[in-house]
Amino acid sequence: MNTTIMLFLVQDGITNGAIYALLGLALVLVFAVTRVILIPQGEFVTYGALTYASLAAGQMPGTAKLALALGIGAFAFDLFEARKALHGRLIVRGLITNIALPAIVLALTLYFAAQKPPVAICIALSLVIVAMIGLYIYRIAFQPLAHTSVLVLLIASVGVHLALQGLGLLFFGAEGQRGPALLSGAFTAGALRFTGQSITVYAITIAFIVGLWLFFGLTLYGKALRATAVNRLGARLAGIRTTLSGQIAFLLASVIGALSGILIVPITTLYYDSGFLIGLKGFVAAIIGGLVSYPLTAVAALVVGIVEAFSSFYASNYKEVIVFMLLIPVLLLRSLAAPAVEEEKD
């Protein structure tokens, strides 16, 4: 193989790896804070991508309506849970975050969809819509189960994934879509050609990772999230609500998912069910990071991306197989390193 091809493959691998890194980080975050293995992460990717692509094509995405429907559901859950101690402030707050917000976004989406809005508005709307869906899904599907075992949460997670995938088919149809590039143009450096899109992918991934790092290291809410991940009871005793941490984690995960989707959809055609496989690759990285280590996850994601690029060049029929086989030696090593199965504490 010549160097040019190799460089191409590495470049391609890093672009994909950057996306997997974002997804892997989101998975680690959600698992550490809520113990949910977020299978629907892939749906956040497709929803973000296809909402963006639909809006850019001047079509009305069904996700905006879904957000409102889920918001109404979340509001009903809030009311039911607080039924013994209902007070005005709680109702007003619920009405604003669960109903008024998605209703306004739906109205904006209806207005803009009719007139092929500029890319920036498409991105903003897609991110907000998917963020709301993530938040309300946490409220409806996971918050009531917060005290149950990892297995129950996983089953709920699979359920949410299947439901969202089905709805995705309903909203976007079986046809694949592509979105407009975020940054057009390209330049060459030596043998390599960098497209505006791939530069955008690198820049946004790096910006997001730095942003997350600052958020967790410097802000009170970021620290509260870490605290919940380290010691749930300790956090509660400090007055940090597990629900609040869960909401922030899901909000971040859904925004990261949607953003990844928006970054990919100008490069690859995405279908309503493409997210699952993309999410799984982020998951492979997260597993290599032991579902706890952020840096290890990010590095593993780059490895996954590069392995995928090379295997699609040499044995494209087997590329998924090869990527997922990465897990076997990692799991073997991990099981050898930690022979005792740790009992779940809470």
Partner 1 sequence: MSALLSVSDAHVAYGKVEAVRSVSLEVGTNEIVTIVGANGAGKTTLLSAIMGILPLKGRVAFAGQDLAQLDIEDRVAMGLGLVPEHRELFVTMNVEDNLELGAFRIERSKAKASMERVYALFPRLKERRKQLAGTLSGGEQQMLAMGRALMGEPKLLMLDEPSLGLAPIIVADIFRIVTELRAAGVSVLLVEQNAQAALKIADQAYVMELGEFVLSGKASDIAANERVAASYLGFQHEGESAV
Residue 252 near residue 29 (C-beta atoms within 8 A): yes
- Binding status of residue 345 toward partner 1 by CB under 8 A: no
Residue 257 near residue 26 (C-beta atoms within 8 A): yes
Cβ 225 to partner 1 shortest distance, Å: 10
Which residue in 115, 132, 143 sits closest to 65, CA to CA? 132
Distance between CA atoms of residues 47 and 165, nearest Å: 9
Distance between CA atoms of residues 53 and 182, nearest Å: 11
Q: At how many degrees (to 10) do helices 242-264 and 3-34 cross?
A: 160
Binding mask 69-108 for partner 1 (x = CB under 8 A): ---------------xx-----------------------
- Binding status of residue 241 toward partner 1 by CB under 8 A: yes
Region binding partner 1 by CB under 8 A among candidate stretches 136-144, 156-164, 191-199, 225-233: 225-233
- Binding status of residue 58 toward partner 1 by CB under 8 A: no
Nearer residue to partner 1 within complex by CB, 65 or 236: 236
- Binding status of residue 223 toward partner 1 by CB under 8 A: yes
Tokens of 9: 């493959």
Region binding partner 1 by CB under 8 A among candidate stretches 57-65, 123-131, 202-210, 235-243: 235-243
- Binding status of residue 214 toward partner 1 by CB under 8 A: no
* Greatest C-alpha distance within the chain: 71
- Binding status of residue 237 toward partner 1 by CB under 8 A: yes
Backbone angles phi, psi at 224, to 5 degrees: -60, -40
Distance between CA atoms of residues 180 and 265, nearest Å: 8
Region binding partner 1 by CB under 8 A among candidate stretches 67-75, 183-191, 206-214, 216-224: 216-224
Where along the sequence are the contacts to partner 1 (CB under 8 A)? 84-85, 220, 223-224, 226-227, 230-231, 233-241
